[in-house]
Structure 1
Amino acid sequence: MTAVYRLLNLLILGLLLSGIGLGWPQAVQGQPAFPLPLPLPSEISYDPAIPRPEEVIGHVVGTRHTAPHQIVAYFQAVAAASDRVLVEEHGRTYEGRPLIHAIVSAPENLMRLEAIRTANMRLSEAPETVSDAELARMPVVAYLGYSIHGNEASGSEASLLVLYYLAAARGPAIDSLLAQAVLIIDPMLNPDGRDRFVDWANRNRGRVPVADPQDREHIEPWPGGRTNHYWFDLNRDWLTGQHPESQGRLRLFHHWRPQLLTDHHEMGSESTFFFMPGVPSRTHPLTPARNQELTAAIARYHAEVFNQIGSLYYSEEGYDDFYYGKGSTYPDANGAVGILFEQASSRALLRETRDGVLSYAFTVRNHFAASLSTLRALRALRIELLRYQRDFYREAEQLARQLPVKAYLIALEPGRTRAQMLAQVLRRHRIRIYMLARDVTVEGKTFRAGQAYVVPVQQPQARMLQALMERRTTFEDSLFYDVSAWTLPLAYDVVWAEWKRNPSPLLGAPVDSVKLDGGTLIGDRSDYAYLMTWDRFFAPAALYQLQRAGVRARMLSRTITLPVAGTRRTFPPGTVLIPVVQRDGKGPGPDSLQALLQQLAQTYHVRFYAVQTGLTEEGPDLGTRDYGRVLEQPRVALLTGEGTRAYNAGEVWHLLSERMHMPVSLLDVQHVAWADLSRYNRLVLAGGSYAALPSEKIKNWVREGGVLIALTSAVDWVVAQGWLNLKAKPFELDSLLRPYPYGQLARARGAQVIGGAILEARMDTTHPLAFGLGATLPVFRTEETFYEPSEVPGANVAVYTEQPLLSGYLSAARRQQAPGAAAVVAQRYGRGRIILIMDNPNFRAFWPGSSRLFLNAVFFGDAF
């Protein structure tokens, strides 16, 4: 073993042995030793029956990157050896990896764990019943979460040391801590991403670590290990819980409702160490001031430890507590305190920086130190944290009384599936929902009894509900670490309204769990044709399965009326016509087709109607030449690889594969030059840089009949090719910045950034790409280039309304740009089509409202 590896071994060994009295190693073969022992109490000893990490994983922590299965194995081994530790599974990833956590406490606490949990629940469910005297006897609950970004790996390594310390340490200090706390240790919040990163790092390292940042080990290939299987940032998914990793941890979080949550990350290699509080002016207004006071009090414990070990650190800059979808901010809306830790990243075992060589061992040590300082703070501030959570929920009733809105109404029709998907998100955050007990009309919208939800504001989760539903357009600060808006009813594009009176007369049966339903076949069997309305979210998935079965479906482009099952029914444009008899004699027979439709109705919650005649009472007959074009079965290639935005590409991949159950070819940009594009009839550019694309080849493919769909920044690449004559609206950033002195330029420039705002687009409802959508559509804007509408007749599928800002931050200058700008442009190009969607319709998988626009482009892209 080389001297460097010996040093790394001893560095981490020192972490474990410094409290045993063996001290910190002073030198290794003439090299200076790590001079900073951790401040562990000298009276602590360690139980030899508890396995050390290296005895299970096969290497000393910090000497290589530990794989997910090794972390699971170590946690299970400690649980088997210790009466302080339980290990449980709270979910599985897309790739089938277990999501585990350890519950660590005194043995006597573990024996009455359910009683402790039940008592802890009263802080948020019945806070008025918990006295100060009872608080003094209650254990505090903390959730210690590590490495939600898979390539920010040092946090998970530190979790191994934390578990060993808590299980093996002996002495009055550790006994006192465990008697007064229940600790939930989540060692890796993103196993799939970690596996991708660890595999790369370990496979591209020689015997001797290389600190050169240009070395292959230091440069992950696209998409990197940060994200989950579908390339989503799981640290932005706490609020909406769209992925199994998030849903598992949300169930765990709300099963226990901790008072403190820590979130261990890494940042740029030239940085130091960050811990909360963040930028004071960028704390969400719904977060109580006491939350930030406790955050600052906890920070003093971190500072004390880092002062002792000599590590540089900072707080109150760079990061903020505004977006509740991050792990360190989500607790703030749930009566807890969230703490973000950011450690300068070595990524590899060693990395050159301006401040010397940064080692993986050093990064692990700092996260371990922050974990220990958290435990010290937890013990010292136990009663304050418990009291804060109790008072947070006590004050929820007072907050609800002050709000003008007393309840939210959400209609199930139209858009039943999307409304139910929204209700599922609310229930993930234990927000109480009821069925509507009687018909009401609000703001010209009628909500029917049994066909709408009522969500009263007067409930323990009043703050969380307000955060999810409110439309906020004024802010104390114009800079945001993440998005400025996430109003869920707009994202799901449901019919909703604010109820400003006592909602008690409206409350019907409580809704405990929400299952998607409403699929049906009306009219039983037909030997002629069926119709499927295009108003349900999963209608494209049902259509794809029909096409896969050999059905040549067509699309109604005009409204028709005809009898179905003895009732006169009207079908709008976008309705899909499903002939029973296929012209070529292929496809399912009448009985098989009926059975298939019944199955699809239940699977995808769509509505089919059996029609017995092609003669309509109003509108064109079913055999009209207006419907002569058979809908193409989409054969989709999604451009991926270096230069493209993995987030955007992952959103498209997830939507089509995971939700619509259709295959997607992931085609790397670098491979397009030699790829056979004739295999595809849809090409999706989700966003990013496409400089490596052979533009002439793409142009010819479109001319020959392909449908090119460009989203967000990919629009700029298409426009730059000159295939469409679109002009960007002028925006003189330099003139806006000219009055500012140098020290204010960064903030002034940042104020013009569109970090994520919700705008309103007006749809051309006669265009096939708008079928199934309403007259207006909320869209999520992240791009800063606004385009003038196309001068080609009929090409402007959507433009922004005259007052488009629905929720979020837009600077005054941007507000002047947006009205009337193009939101969706679609044109013929040769025999093909080019569709430009300026916004991100699939943002973070919680925008099913605008995702329908993208799905229309995929399924109806050649139908105009």
Structure 2
Amino acid sequence: MTALPLRYFVACVLGLLLVAAPDAQAQEVPIAIDTPVEGIDRYNPDIPTPQDVIGHEIGTRHTRPAQVIDYFEAVAEASDRVVMERHGTTYDHRPLIHAVVAPPEDLSRLDEIKAQNQALSSDPSSVSDADLADLPAVAYMGYSIHGDEASGTEAAVLLLYHMAAGEGPAVDAVLGDVVTIIDPLFNPDGRARFVNWVNGNRGETATADDQDREHNQPWPGGRTNHYWFDLNRDWMPVQHPSSQARIALYQDWRPQVLTDYHEMGSEATYFFQPGVPSRTNPNTPDENQELAGELAEYHADFLDEIGSLYYTREQFDDFYYGKGSTYPDVQGTVGILFEQASSRALKNDTDSGVMNYAFTVRNQFLASLSTLQGTVELREDLLRYQRDFFADRDEFLDDAPMTGYLISSERYPQRAQALGQLLMQHRVELFDLEETVESNGRTYRPGSAYWVPLDQEQGRFVKGVMEQRTTFQDSLFYDVSTWTLPLAFGTDYSELTSTPDGVRGERITDMSYDGGRVVGGEAEVAYVMPWGRYFAPRALYQLQDADITTRMMPDPFEVEVGGTTQSFDRGAIVIPLQQRNATRQEVHAAVQEAASAHHVEIMAVNRGLTPQGPDLGSASSTVLQKPEVALVTGNDGRSRWGGASAANAGEVWHLLSERFDMPVSLLDISYIESLDLSEYNTLVMAGGSYDGLDAERVQAWVEDGGTLIASHTGVRWAVDHEMVELEAKTLDVDSLVADQDYADLGEARGAQGIGGSIFEAQLDTTHPLAFGYDETIPVFRRGTRFYEPHEEPGHTVGTYTDTPRISGYISDPVEEIAQESAALVAEQRGSGQVILLMDNPNFRAFWYGTNGLFLNALFFGDTF
């Protein structure tokens, strides 16, 4: 390992050197921009410094996203080593940008370098050991996916200046062996919220008082994106524009190293991977962790040089493939997580003294330099590892207990197509069937099913995101313990242990939604839309929003459509031609538009009298109200983080606004008591504490005809305030850990938690809340608070089965109390209803399979 270059380079850019002394976090020593630095002969004066463009020294203010982009543009214009590219746009229409840094001769042949790099995965047998000696490595340097973990982005600005302006052996070594991609703004929307707050609530003289406004950003904070999603959980689900653009960039380059810079609590030090060894996903090769350990030696050397403390192999893990540091690990890349103790504000009091923002930036910057030096010196090892990762397919296939997955799109076509779209973003190959295949009692037909084999370039990734797992080396998880995608999307599927003939037909190149249609021409009496297709609620809302009256049929029936008898299950929507607010032609046009735009089938009916079941004008049918939805959000004012869960509320907001084209009113819990709730017929409590909510007022609103929907942790508020009478099932954790030593107590308690598992629930499909579903469904489960089924008949719509765990971790004592507990409860109160979904049906936007339960509550909540 070479001597540390640039160990004090950060001083030249910050204008501040926080020296390695006992009070290093607080001490500020000005150093001029032209101070000599080991490994650097000079910094090219033709390249603008950050201060030249953004107007302040890095570390003295929080830099706004627009300023970061301005600086990257200015450097790209001034330097022949840098090209800046835009790879996407956020919900708030902010550009997502990255810089590619390489010598001018390499920048002119980036397509060639990409092709050479892609061959490591697409054609590994064509790349010999001798070839590796001439290939540059690719390092994807990514920063601040949590917008209020701000120091990473500042370090990215410094890194760009250093790489563009630095002249001398330290920079030449990196330029000669590494193509560096600098992505400074993983989450510019969240950063903008955070930076506007801290800069706007700071005086000329900053305070370190953590009770000061600068230190206490308001709900929902800057961690998340526009819809309050944690983007560091979306690398695998790719449900958001920022993630989709980033994954496209990653797959385009397939780097050998990917870094992910974060912050953590102010009293901590600095973390870098490897993480907890026993919590590494078993699909990740051992060599991946070994290389992470070798890179850790470089980080340690750089941080030792300035006296910054750090730790590895604790607290953080490499299990969930949806995180930035773990997603690459199943694709031949070494992902590295960095966690810097946060100052959050410009300075902060800690037990170790005052921590300055510049101090946190310095550590992140030095860890960036150490990553690049490690990549230079381990270049051939990293390239060889990635090549061999993809070359060892036969060995992987021999060890895998399955050969692939059959996915049916017959029962739930849009869910299966959405799953296919997700997989294809990760460069997974899907295949149509050549002939009909029977498996596990299901029939898979060409054109209505597809095959996802493990025998492909992304086979390890497929296994890692599709498998059901119930055995684990460790009982603690930093994130969820399972995410089995076919279960999340609620698709009919089979995991095959052998590959039958006829299963692999033509490769699928397009997985668009299949579109809808109107069957039977123009109706003479009514149209009927079966309930169950994923976007049926969107079609229904569009019709309701056009003032077209719709009726829901609660019982099965048959009707003549185009000369044949068509059967309809419970929940079918009748759209009469005779309307009070629309002409027949307007109804015809609206139905055609709804079918084509929302991928539903709608049947034209010429007679209201049915051959079987209730007639279309049945007294049992219900005229549906258009949902007028209010979502409880915000802080309750009782504690810093009390009130609604931003993550849970954001999932509902995103589902309705982005995916179902429905407006939703966000009501802040702190002033909801002064609002006119009669404007809404539906109130959603998606999760949180809600201690500041006026229960008597909400109960009066429900009894006057409102529908209250509470899910996940929002259920507890409704039960505690006797909105629904349920008995909790409790687990005595203290008795379970009574014999544990003090040192083992934390892990013993943690082993009784459910951080994220998949349960099986049994539904009463005759209840409107379960219309469109099969009798058993997978649901995502978090937390260990369970309830007995409702004492009154007809109130319990869903229960967990007697063997509830399908995939993921659960302890035996917790599984025992989970058995046959309530999963979905509905109770009428006065003229209104209270609906409790014990789980989160909208988890991280990729649980398509249970979105329909929540949407049923919105549209059918007042029909029972």
Does the TM-score normalized on the shorter chain lie above 0.5?
A: yes
Tell me the CA shift for residue 25 of structure 1.
13
Residue-by-residue CA offset, 1:243-269 (whole Å, 9 max, x unaligned): 000000000000000000000000000
- Does 2:842 align with 1:849? no
- Does 2:610 align with 1:632? no
Q: Which residue of 2 aligns with 1:236?
A: 233
Specify the SS of the correspondent of 2:670. Answer: helix
Tell me the CA shift for residue 516 of structure 1.
1.1
Tell me the CA shift for residue 823 of structure 1.
0.2
Residue-by-residue CA offset, 1:295-320 (whole Å, 9 max, x unaligned): 00000000000000110111100100
- Does 2:590 align with 1:596? yes
Aligned partners of 1:437, 1:215: CA distance in 2, in Å?
66
> Bigger CA drift: 365-374 or 594-603?
594-603
Specify the SS of the correspondent of 2:96. Answer: strand
Q: Which residue of 1 aligns with 2:795?
A: 795
Q: Aligned pair count?
A: 844
Specify the SS of the correspondent of 2:800. Answer: strand
Aligned partners of 1:550, 1:12: CA distance in 2, in Å?
66
Cα–Cα, structure 1 residues 17 and 762, in superposed 2: closer, same or farther, change >3 Å? closer
Matches within 5 A, 1:266-415: 266-415=263-412
Query: Could you tell me the TM-score, scaled by structure 2's length?
Result: 0.96
Kept in 1, the 8 Å contact 2:272–2:339? The answer is yes
Tell me the CA shift for residue 42 of structure 1.
4.0
Q: Which residue of 1 aligns with 2:107?
A: 110
Kept in 1, the 8 Å contact 2:234–2:243? The answer is yes
Q: Which residue of 2 aligns with 1:586?
A: 581
Specify the SS of the correspondent of 1:446. Answer: strand
Matches within 5 A, 1:4-83: 14-16=11-13, 33-34=28-29, 41-83=38-80
Aligned partners of 1:648, 1:552: CA distance in 2, in Å?
32
Residue-by-residue CA offset, 1:729-781 (whole Å, 9 max, x unaligned): 13111101111111111000110111000000000010000000111111111
Tell me the CA shift for residue 13 of structure 1.
7.0
Q: Which residue of 2 aligns with 1:751?
A: 751
- Does 2:719 align with 1:719? yes
Aligned partners of 2:710, 2:534: CA distance in 1, in Å?
21
Q: Which residue of 1 aligns with 2:3?
A: none
Tell me the CA shift for residue 482 of structure 1.
0.3
Query: Could you tell me the TM-score, scaled by structure 1's length?
Result: 0.96
Cα–Cα, structure 1 residues 39 and 461, in superposed 2: closer, same or farther, change >3 Å? farther
Specify the SS of the correspondent of 1:167. Answer: helix
List runs of 5+ in structure 2 lacking aligned partners: 1-7, 636-642
Residue-by-residue CA offset, 1:788-821 (whole Å, 9 max, x unaligned): 0001110010000111100000011111011110
Cα–Cα, structure 1 residues 25 and 696, in superposed 2: closer, same or farther, change >3 Å? closer
Which amino acid is the alignment partner of residue 852 of structure 2?
R
List runs of 5+ in structure 1 lacking aligned partners: 1-10
Kept in 2, the 8 Å contact 1:14–1:24? The answer is no
- Does 2:181 align with 1:181? no
Specify the SS of the correspondent of 1:509. Answer: coil
Tell me the CA shift for residue 39 of structure 1.
11
Q: Which residue of 1 aligns with 2:160?
A: 163
Aligned partners of 2:41, 2:653: CA distance in 1, in Å?
52
Aligned partners of 1:17, 1:340: CA distance in 2, in Å?
24
Which amino acid is the alignment partner of residue 599 of structure 2?
H
Q: Which residue of 2 aligns with 1:501?
A: 498
Matches within 5 A, 1:603-622: 603-622=597-616
Tell me the CA shift for residue 566 of structure 1.
1.8
Kept in 2, the 8 Å contact 1:432–1:455? The answer is yes
Cα–Cα, structure 1 residues 591 and 366, in superposed 2: closer, same or farther, change >3 Å? same
Residue-by-residue CA offset, 1:484-527 (whole Å, 9 max, x unaligned): 01000000000101222235632122112321123111112113
Aligned partners of 1:39, 1:806: CA distance in 2, in Å?
61
Cα–Cα, structure 1 residues 576 and 365, in superposed 2: closer, same or farther, change >3 Å? same
Aligned partners of 2:445, 2:512: CA distance in 1, in Å?
19
Q: Which residue of 1 aligns with 2:740?
A: 740
Kept in 2, the 8 Å contact 1:527–1:590? The answer is no
Tell me the CA shift for residue 178 of structure 1.
0.9
Cα–Cα, structure 1 residues 114 and 34, in superposed 2: closer, same or farther, change >3 Å? same
Tell me the CA shift for residue 76 of structure 1.
0.5
> Bigger CA drift: 785-794 or 501-510?
501-510
Q: Which residue of 2 aligns with 1:7?
A: none
Which amino acid is the alignment partner of residue 602 of structure 1?
S
Kept in 2, the 8 Å contact 1:88–1:102? The answer is yes
Aligned partners of 1:457, 1:32: CA distance in 2, in Å?
55
Cα–Cα, structure 1 residues 23 and 546, in superposed 2: closer, same or farther, change >3 Å? closer
Aligned partners of 1:472, 1:745: CA distance in 2, in Å?
26
Q: Which residue of 1 aligns with 2:639?
A: none
Tell me the CA shift for residue 23 of structure 1.
12
Specify the SS of the correspondent of 1:506. Answer: coil
Specify the SS of the correspondent of 1:670. Answer: coil
- Does 2:496 align with 1:488? no
Aligned partners of 2:800, 2:770: CA distance in 1, in Å?
14
Residue-by-residue CA offset, 1:180-208 (whole Å, 9 max, x unaligned): 11111100100000000000011101010
Specify the SS of the correspondent of 1:805. Answer: strand
Aligned partners of 1:207, 1:857: CA distance in 2, in Å?
52
Aligned partners of 1:363, 1:242: CA distance in 2, in Å?
31
Tell me the CA shift for residue 34 of structure 1.
4.4
Tell me the CA shift for residue 580 of structure 1.
1.1
Aligned partners of 2:409, 2:31: CA distance in 1, in Å?
61
Tell me the CA shift for residue 124 of structure 1.
0.5
Specify the SS of the correspondent of 1:144. Answer: strand
Aligned partners of 1:194, 1:504: CA distance in 2, in Å?
52
Q: Which residue of 2 aligns with 1:3?
A: none
Specify the SS of the correspondent of 2:237. Answer: coil
Kept in 2, the 8 Å contact 1:397–1:459? The answer is no
Cα–Cα, structure 1 residues 530 and 32, in superposed 2: closer, same or farther, change >3 Å? closer
Specify the SS of the correspondent of 2:482. Answer: coil
Kept in 1, the 8 Å contact 2:14–2:58? The answer is no
Aligned partners of 2:592, 2:457: CA distance in 1, in Å?
41
Tell me the CA shift for residue 556 of structure 1.
1.1
Q: Which residue of 2 aligns with 1:452?
A: 449
Kept in 2, the 8 Å contact 1:135–1:383? The answer is yes
Residue-by-residue CA offset, 1:129-171 (whole Å, 9 max, x unaligned): 1100001100000100000000000100110000000000112
Which amino acid is the alignment partner of residue 615 of structure 1?
L
Sequence identity (%): 54
Aligned partners of 1:60, 1:297: CA distance in 2, in Å?
34
Aligned partners of 1:140, 1:822: CA distance in 2, in Å?
53
Q: Which residue of 2 aligns with 1:666?
A: 666
Q: Which residue of 1 aligns with 2:638?
A: none
Kept in 1, the 8 Å contact 2:100–2:182? The answer is yes
Which amino acid is the alignment partner of residue 622 of structure 1?
L
Kept in 2, the 8 Å contact 1:14–1:25? The answer is no
Matches within 5 A, 1:680-829: 680-829=680-829
Q: Which residue of 2 aligns with 1:443?
A: 440
Kept in 1, the 8 Å contact 2:39–2:168? The answer is no
- Does 2:561 align with 1:564? yes
Tell me the CA shift for residue 568 of structure 1.
1.3
Tell me the CA shift for residue 173 of structure 1.
3.2
Which amino acid is the alignment partner of residue 815 of structure 2?
R
Residue-by-residue CA offset, 1:453-481 (whole Å, 9 max, x unaligned): 01111111111100111000110000000
Specify the SS of the correspondent of 1:291. Answer: helix
- Does 2:153 align with 1:148? no
Aligned partners of 1:271, 1:793: CA distance in 2, in Å?
53
